Homo-oligomer: A and B are copies of this chain.
């Protein structure tokens, strides 16, 4: 799908705040609300906008700790990796999981209430997997930036 300057401006706006009315969006980018509606609908259908969600403050739900874990696997057999991926996907505390090339194999970003919850999770996710050679835990002292906005400025793809 081809995106013009209007689309990009809309994306930039709704990435910051999806509650702005289409009228206001139109005023901001110089378009009628009908045009805004059509463009947003199209971008939703084409998957440019994956979804629109409420971002909840973890602290208010008791999730005070962000922990980053680097996991090294024993075997790279595909079925074993898939099983691990599935267990990470299924775990609500796992906010993000990347399968990476480099020193380790998986990087996880997790949200936990306290260290006990984390150690409990390591048991479930790592020890019981039988395919984890080792893991390194990094505890976040400060979540400097936790953003969701994809850069939109500069050139198109």
Are B16 and A138 touching (Cβ within 8 A)?
no
Q: Name the one of B49, B53, B62, B143 contacting A149, with C-beta atoms under 8 angstroms.
A: B53
A138 to chain B, nearest CB (A): 4
Please state if B98 and A66 are interface contacts (CB–CB under 8 Å): yes
Question: What is the distance, in angstroms, from A102's C-beta to the closest C-beta of chain B?
Answer: 4
B148 lies within 8 A of A55 (CB): yes
Q: Which of A28-36, A107-115, A122-130 contacts B (4 or more CB under 8 A)?
A: A107-115
Give the oligomeric copy count.
Answer: 2
Within 22-75 of A, Cβ neighbours of B (below 8 Å) are at 46-58, 60-63, 66, 68
Question: Count of A residues near B, CB < 8 Å?
Answer: 69
- Which of A56, A57, A111 has the most C-beta atoms of chain B within 10 angstroms of its own C-beta? A56
Q: Which of B54, B92, B142 is the one whose CB lies under 8 Å from A11?
A: B54
Whole-angstrom distance between the Cβ of A115 and the nearest chain B Cβ:
12
Chain A 3-32 interface 0/1 with B at a Cβ cutoff of 8 Å (1 = within): 100000001001111110000000000000
Ranked 6 nearest A-B pairs via Cβ? A62-B157, A92-B151, A14-B54, A102-B138, A97-B144, A98-B140
Query: Apart from A61-B151, A109-B109, what 13 extra A-B contacts exist at CB < 8 Å?
Result: A14-B53, A55-B148, A57-B150, A61-B157, A92-B151, A96-B143, A96-B145, A100-B140, A100-B141, A102-B137, A103-B138, A111-B150, A148-B148
18 contacts between A and B (CB under 8 A): A14-B54, A16-B53, A17-B51, A47-B60, A50-B55, A50-B56, A53-B149, A57-B150, A61-B151, A61-B152, A66-B98, A85-B144, A89-B145, A92-B153, A94-B145, A99-B141, A100-B139, A107-B138
